[in-house]
Structure 1
Amino acid sequence: MINTIIAILLLITFAGFIFYIIKGGDLTIGFFVMAILWTVIGLIPYHTAITAVFSTPALKYGSTIIYIVFGSWFGRVLVESGIAPSISQKTNKVGKSHPLLAAILIVLVTALLFVSSYGVGSVIAIGVILLPILLSLGIPRDVALTTFALSIGSAMYVNVVLFNQIKAFFPKAQYNLHYLEFGWAAMAVQLIAVILFLVMKRHTFNPKNAEANLREIGATDPGDVNKIPYIAYAIPVVPVILNMALGWDAIPALILSSILAMLVTGKMNGYKKFKKFLNTTIKQSINDISGLIMFLMALVMFAGAAQLNAGRFKGIFSAILPNSHLLLALGIGILAPLALFRGPLQVWGAGAATAAVLSATGMFNDMFLLPLMYVPTLMAVSTDITQSWNVWGLDYMKVRPQQLLKLGVPIMWIVSIINEMLVYLFFG
Structure 2
Amino acid sequence: MKQPNNQFQTEPQNAVKGDGLLMVTSIFILLLFLVIALLMVTRKLPTILALPILAVGVAAIAGVPLIAVGKDGNDTGLLNFVVQGGATKLGVAYCAVILGAWLGQFMNQTGISKTIIKGAAELGGDRPFLVTILVTIAVSLLFTTIDGIGAVIMIATIAMPIMISVGVPALIGACMFIFAMAIGGIINMSNWAFYTTATGVQQSQVQAFAVTMAVLTAVVALIFAIVEFKRSGTKFAWAVQTNPGIPKGEFVKAPMLSLLTPLIPIVFVIGLKWPILPAFLMGLLWCFVTVWLFSPQKDLGKLLSLLTKSAFEGMTDSAPAVLLMIGIGMVLNSFMHPQVSQSISPFLKVIIPGNPVAYVLFFAILAPLALYRGPLNMWGLGSGVAAVIIGLKVLPAPAVFSAFLATERVQSIGDPTNTHNVWFANYVGTDVNKILLKVLPYIWSLAVVGLIIAAFMWF
Q: Out of 21, 28, 46, which is 2:48 matched to?
A: 28
Q: Which moved more, 1:26-35 or 1:337-346?
A: 337-346
- Structure 1 residues 301-316: aligned runs within 5 Å: 301-308=330-337, 309-316=340-347
Displacement of 1:406: 5.8
Distance 1:20 1:420 in 2: 29
When structure 1 is superposed on structure 2, of 5-14 and 237-246 the one drifting more is 237-246
Aligned residue identity for 1:269: D
1:99-142 C-alpha deviation (Å, 9 max, x unpaired): 4334445656788999xx7xxx5667xx7797677534346575
Secondary structure of residue in 2 paired with 1:44 = coil
- Backbone CA RMSD of aligned residues: 4.7
Q: Does the alignment pair 1:269 with 2:304?
A: no
Q: Name the counterpart of 2:391.
A: 356
Judge conservation of contact 2:116–2:138 (CA < 8 Å) in 1. Answer: no
Q: Superposition pairs for residues 226-375 of structure 1, below 5 Å? A: 226-248=252-274, 249-263=278-292, 264-265=294-295, 268-271=298-301, 273-308=302-337, 309-320=340-351, 325-339=356-370, 341=373, 343=375, 348-357=383-392, 359-360=393-394, 366=396, 370-371=398-399, 374-375=402-403
Matched, 1:143 2:143: no
Q: Deviations over 1:6-65 (max 9, x none)?
A: 222222222233332332342212223222322322322212211222112222323322
Aligned with 2:405 (options 377, 394, 397): 377
The answer as to whether partners of 2:402 and 2:454 remain within 8 angstroms in 1 is no
From 19, 23, 28, the equivalent of 1:4 is: 23
| TM-score of the two chains, using structure 2 as the length reference | 0.67
Partner of 1:218: none
Instruction: Give yes or no for contact 1:95–1:101 (8 Å, CA) kept in 2.
Output: yes
Residue 65 (structure 1) aligned with residue 94 (structure 2): yes
1:289–1:392 Cα contact (<8 Å) kept: no
Amino acid at match of 1:375: A
3-state SS in 1 of match to 2:329: helix
Aligned partner of 1:14 in structure 2 is 33
The structure-2 alpha-carbon separation of the partners of 1:419 and 1:241, relative to structure 1 and needing over 3 Å to count, comes to closer
Pick closer, same or farther for the CA change 1:337–1:94 going to 2, 3 Å.
Answer: same
Counterparts of 2:122 and 2:351 in 1: how far apart (Å)? Answer: 56
Q: Deviations over 1:192-232 (max 9, x none)?
A: 32222333444499999xx99x9xxxxxx465312443333
Say if 1:112 and 1:257 are closer, same or farther in 2 by CA, change over 3 A: closer
* Structure 2: distance between partners of 1:262 and 1:96: 27
SS in 2 for 1:224: coil
Task: Report the alpha carbon displacement of residue 253 of structure 1 after superposing the two structures with TM.
Answer: 1.4
Q: Unpaired runs of 5+ in structure 2?
A: 1-19, 68-76, 165-169
| 8 Å contact from structure 2 (residues 82, 330) kept in 1 | yes
Q: 1:231 to 1:355 in 2, by over 3 A?
A: closer
- Please identify the structure whose Cα radius of gyration is greater: 2
Q: Write the distance in 1 (CA, Å) between the matches of 2:91 and 2:356.
A: 40
Give the SS at the match of 2:319. helix
- Per mean C-alpha deviation after superposition, the further-off stretch among 321-330 and 5-14 is 321-330
Q: Is the Cα contact below 8 Å between 1:24 and 1:402 reproduced in 2?
A: no
The residue that corresponds to 1:44 in the other structure is 64
Matched, 1:79 2:108: yes
TM-fit CA distance, 1:315? 1.3
Q: TM-score, normalised by structure 1?
A: 0.71
Residue identity in the other structure for 1:13: L
For the 8 Å contact 1:153–1:378, the answer to whether it is kept is no
Distance 1:34 1:329 in 2: 28
How far the C-alpha of 1:301 sits from its partner, in A, is: 1.9
Q: Deviations over 1:246-278 (max 9, x none)?
A: 44432321331332254133565153x345433
For the residues of structure 2 that align with 1:417 and 1:332, how far apart are their CA atoms?
8
The alignment partner of 1:24 has SS state of coil
Residues 50-83 of structure 1: per-residue CA shift (max 9 Å, x gap): 1222112222323322222222122112112122
Alignment correspondent of 2:224? 197
**Greater RCO, CA 8 A, separation 6+:** 1
CA contact (8 A) 2:390 2:400 kept: no
How far 1:147 sits from its partner (Å)? 0.1
